Structure 1
């Protein structure tokens, strides 16, 4: 059996709590609900398999977003301050209760960009623990999950997205990712295929 990692990206209140600022922006609420149930199912599988490590990737930024500097902020460096999300000390940055890490599950730190690798210790952790196969879940599919998939590919990881354990803001965004993006950088499976795939 191969040692692999299940990575949960931004399973925090900002997406999943009823009061989450990003949850309120999601148009396809059914997609979000399905993803939550499937992340929970995947996490249960991982926690019952000693060959799967569970890694948690959060986004937590200081008030005023000094990490972004004072330059001509674009993209997420513009959108995040406008939405006033991910501020340390606010409830949105806390783990959604059912996805709070258990003892022994590693929390990736230092993230400042879209990818789970951006400014973090994720690559060092994976390499130092001889993990080459990773599974991605979390939010949002077409932004942070996709950015992580692309960078994981370029770093040489064998990466699979649990496609029904992640969500975009709209159904169109998810369909575009499935039809035009994922096959360039990795694989996609459904959560009910996850257990079988672990033993391949």
Structure 2
């Protein structure tokens, strides 16, 4: 339960609050988001969580995806002879300069951690997030972002397997369609963590 969550042991992880998802010109916003209102509401709720975290000194980690240093997608063999996101990302040309930029209010501030080196669906995959958390002796994560059934779910699963207690902040995440989001909540979360919501988390941070 959230009443047992300790501030010093916890981190809020914001997954992909960047142009690709959050602006009208974003490729993923244009091509993938079918249920817009739940998506926009998730952005609003996540913004409220972030504002409260900043006001109360909670640990914040921005776990975006930024491949602007690899314009030819060499990381993914240029999308050749690979499957899944490794093929789809080079084909779409996403997560380059403009698409990778964070959007206010999710632009990192001084003292907030920016994850680097990520190479997979999970924000923990080959990135600096895990060592950052371990060096700060953090064991509890609150996950927010996009998409619920892809990168957020991947992060939840890996966090569990690495020994973290992870919460899905369910109304601060969204999928392409509401049914995908609901599936994760109903059939996935309880295997790898628990869920909470923005209001409950905000109340805990303000307490």
TM superposition score normalised by structure 2? 0.91
**Are residue 82 (structure 1) and residue 91 (structure 2) matched?**
yes
State the alpha-carbon separation in 2 of the partners of residues 127 and 78 from structure 1.
Answer: 32
Which ranges of structure 2 fall in alignment gaps of 5 or more residues? 1-5
**Are residue 9 (structure 1) and residue 5 (structure 2) matched?**
no
Match of 1:65 in 2: 73
- In the TM superposition, what is the alpha-carbon distance from 1:172 to its structure 2 partner? 1.2
Match of 2:108 in 1: 101
Contact 1:112 1:118 in 2 (8 A): yes
Match of 1:139 in 2: 146
Aligned residues: 197
Match of 1:169 in 2: 176
Contact 2:53 2:205 in 1 (8 A): no
State the alpha-carbon separation in 2 of the partners of residues 102 and 196 from structure 1.
Answer: 23
> Secondary structure of 2:87's partner?
helix
Contact 2:76 2:86 in 1 (8 A): yes
> Secondary structure of 2:71's partner?
coil
- In the TM superposition, what is the alpha-carbon distance from 1:195 to its structure 2 partner? 2.6
> Secondary structure of 2:155's partner?
helix
Contact 1:153 1:185 in 2 (8 A): yes
> Secondary structure of 2:105's partner?
helix
**Are residue 56 (structure 1) and residue 65 (structure 2) matched?**
no
State the alpha-carbon separation in 1 of the partners of residues 188 and 133 from structure 2.
Answer: 24
**Are residue 18 (structure 1) and residue 24 (structure 2) matched?**
yes
State the alpha-carbon separation in 2 of the partners of residues 134 and 175 from structure 1.
Answer: 21
